[in-house]
A and B are shown apart, each in its own frame.
Chain A
Amino acid sequence: MSDERAGTAAQVSEAGPPMLGLREMELNFGPQHPSTHGVLRLVLKVDGERIISARPDIGYLHRGTEKLFETETYPMVVPHTDRLDYVAAATNNHAYCLAVEKILGLELPKRAQYIRVLLDEMQRISSHVLWLATAAIDLGAITPFFYTFRDREVILDLFEDYCGARLTLNCMKIGGLPEDLPPGWVERVRTFTEQLEARYDEYEDLLTENRIWKQRTIGVGILTAEQCIEWGVTGPPLRGAGFKWDIRRAIPYECYPELDFEIPTFPNADTYDRYRVRIAELRQSRRIVLQCCDWLLKNPEGEIRAKAPRVIKPVVGDVYAAVEAPKGELGFYLVSNGGNKPYRLRIRPPSFINLQALPEMAKGHLVSDLVAIIGTIDIVLGEVDR
C-alpha cells in the first residue's frame, strides 16, 4: 500500500520540488474522477504529462454477485444479472437464460427468439448511444450528449412499456419471456427505428469529420488485433482492430442466422476506429430491429415460452453460454449439482477483461489521452467489479 502513496505531498516535500521531465511521479486518477464513469481508480506513473504506466485498481463496486447467485434458485438469479452491466440489462438476462436453457435442453419458440433478439438489439442501440454521449462529453463535445439522450430516452420508454423498467429490465425468463408484447408496441418500435438512420447521421455530422474529435482520437490507444486476442479483448475494440469476429455470427444463438446483418470492421485499431465501429454497429442493430419488427408483425400470435419445468433442476454438469453484449463477449459458466440453485455461476464479464488491456493502450500517451482511452473501452463498473 505504501508504494501507492509515493508522489503524495508528503513525499514530494521530502525530496524537494519535483522537476518535470527529470523525475517520475505517481498520480491517482479516480476513483472520483468524472471521466472514469464510476469508481475506477488508476494509479499512474507519469513523467510530466506522459504516462509511463497505468495500473487499474478495481473492486470499489464489488457486491459479491457470484456468491449471491449460489443462494438463489435459478429463476431468482435473473434480476441480479440486470445489475452487472446496468446499461445493457437485456443482454445480461439473455446470456444467463441461454446458459440455463442449454443445460435444460430447451428449444425456444420462434416468436420468443425474435422478441429476445429485438430486445437485445434495442439494448445495444441504447448502450452504444450512451457510450457515444459519455465518450464525447469526456473529450469536451457536449452537443452529442443531447442528441443521443433524446433518442435513448425513447428506447427506455419503449422498454418501460414492455416490462415496466427502464434500466434493470428483468425482461427475460428461463425458457422464454415473462410477458407478451403490449398491443401496438411493435408498430411503435418500428416507427421509431425507421427514424434512427437520420439520427445516426446527425451524430456523425457532429463528430466523424470534426477536426477536434479526429485530433483527439486518431492514433490514440492503439490495440492491434493480435494484442486484443492475447488480452482476451472482444467486442468493438476487436472489430475496430480489423478482426471480423462477433458471437452472433461465430457461435450463433437464437434466430441470428436468419437475420441479415453485417459485422462492421475498421482497420486502424485506434480510438477513432472504435468509434466508427460502434456507429456502424448502431446502423446494423437498426437493420436487425426492423427485421425483427417485420417478422413479429407478420406473426402476431404464438408461444413466447418453451415448456420449462416449474421447478428448474438441471442435470449434473457444467455449461457455458455467451452472447455478444454491447461491450464484448458476455458469458455465463454454470455448474449444476442437480439442485434448484446454481452450484457455481461464473460471469465472464467483457468490461473486466477489456479493462485489463488499458495499461497497454495508455502507455506513452498524455494524461488527457487517457480520458479518451478509458472512454473507448466502454467499461461499466458494475460488470467489472460484480
Chain B
Amino acid sequence: MADEPINPPPAPPGDDGKPPAPAPAAPKPAAPAAAKPAAPPPKPKGPIATDASAHPVVARLKEAIPDSVLSAKELVGQVTVEVPASRIVDVCRHLKEKEAFTYLVDLTAVDWKERQPRFDVVYWLHSFEKDNFRIRLRAGVADGEACPTVSGVWLTANWMEREVFDLFGIPFSGHPDLRRILTWDGFQGHPLRKDFPVEGIDTGAAIYPDRYPDGGGPAPDDSNRKVVS
C-alpha cells in the first residue's frame, strides 16, 4: 500500500492529478504524446512517501482511540495521519494532553473538487517537549458537511477556522464566533474553492446598493454575476 503512488489524498491522485494536467503540459512545446512519458521521470528524483503507522506517536494514538487512524504516511520527515473528521476533537485532545502537542502551528484546508469527500482540513501540530516534533492531521470533509471545531482545544484555532470557513465554506460546528474574517459580511462565495473564478466576481454592491442590498456580490445563480477581467 505504501509503495503505491505517493499520495497525500487517499483516493484521487490518479484521477485528480490528471484533470489539471492539461495546463501544466501546455508550456512544453513537445507534442502531447511526448509530454506523458516526460512526466514520470522527475518522480523518482523527489522524495518518496513511506508508511508511518509504526511511528510511536501514531501507534499510541491508535491504541488510545482505536478508530482514529485511517492511514499514516511520512514524506520528507513529516508525518501525516489521516483521521475521520468526526473524531478530530478527541484526537486533538489526546495529542495535546497525552502527547504534549501544545502548539497548533496551522490549520487550513485543501479543495480537491472532484474527490469525495471534497475537502481536506489539515492540522499541523507542534510539541516543544518531544524535541520539536511535528505531526500533521488530515480530515476529509464533504461539501456542506460540518467539521467539529478544535477551538476548544487550542484558542488559536479560532481565527484559523474562521478563515477556512470564509475562504472554503466549511462550517465548523461548535465554533464560538463563526463569521467571515478576510472577506466582508454578505460576500457571496468562497474564494479558495477551485470553482471560484480567479478573476473574482462582480461585487457591484458599492456601486449598485439597490441591486445588491445585502452588501455582497450577486448570488451564484444571479444573471448579473459575471467574471471581471
- A residues sitting closer than 8 Å to B (CB atoms) are 1, 58-59, 62, 64, 66-68, 70-71, 73, 102-105, 229-233, 245, 250-251, 309, 311, 313-320, 322, 329, 331, 333, 335, 337-341, 343-344, 346, 348, 352-353, 356, 385-386
Contacts and interface: CB of A to CB of B under 8 A. Distances in A.
B21 to A, nearest CB: 6
B6 interface: yes
Contacts of B66: none
Given A317-B6, A341-B24, A229 B102 contact: yes
Given A229-B103, A316-B7, A344 B110 contact: yes
A47 B43 CA distance: 62
Contacts, number: 147
B212 interface: no
Given A316-B13, A353-B160, 5 more contacts: A59-B180, A309-B42, A315-B48, A317-B49, A337-B16
Nearest to A319: B76
Contact of A340 (B24, B105, B132, B158): B24
Given A67-B191, A315-B47, A250 B132 contact: yes
Interface string B33-48: 0000001001101111
A103 B45 CA distance: 10
Interface string B179-207: 01111110000011000101010000000
A245 B128 contact: yes
Given A68-B198, A311-B28, A316-B5, A385 B105 contact: no
Nearest 10 pairs of A and B residues by beta carbon: A232-B156, A315-B46, A339-B24, A59-B182, A340-B24, A346-B108, A62-B182, A348-B106, A250-B132, A318-B8
Nearest to A230: B155
Which of A66, A320, A337, A356 gathers most chain B CB within 10 Å? Answer: A337
A354 B14 CA distance: 39
B17 interface: yes
Given A333-B108, A356-B156, A251 B132 contact: yes
A313 B41 CA distance: 10
A335 B108 CA distance: 11
Contacts of A353: 156, 159-160
A338 B17 contact: yes
B46 A104 contact: yes
A333 B155 contact: no
Contact of A320 (B106, B111, B132, B181): B106
A79 to B, nearest CB: 17
21 contacts: A66-B167, A71-B198, A103-B46, A103-B75, A105-B76, A232-B156, A250-B132, A311-B27, A313-B39, A316-B17, A318-B136, A331-B105, A333-B122, A337-B17, A338-B17, A338-B24, A338-B39, A339-B17, A340-B24, A341-B20, A353-B159
A161 to B, nearest CB: 33
Contacts of B224: none
Contacts of A339: 17, 20-21, 23-24
Contact of B75 (A232, A318, A386): A318
Contacts of B180: 59
Contacts of A385: 182
Nearest to A62: B182
Contacts of A386: 182
B111 A344 contact: yes
Contact of A335 (B8, B106, B154, B182): B8
Given A62-B183, A105-B46, A341-B23, A316 B155 contact: no
B227 to A, nearest CB: 14
B80 interface: yes
A136 B20 CA distance: 50
Which of A66, A233, A316 gathers most chain B CB within 10 Å? Answer: A316
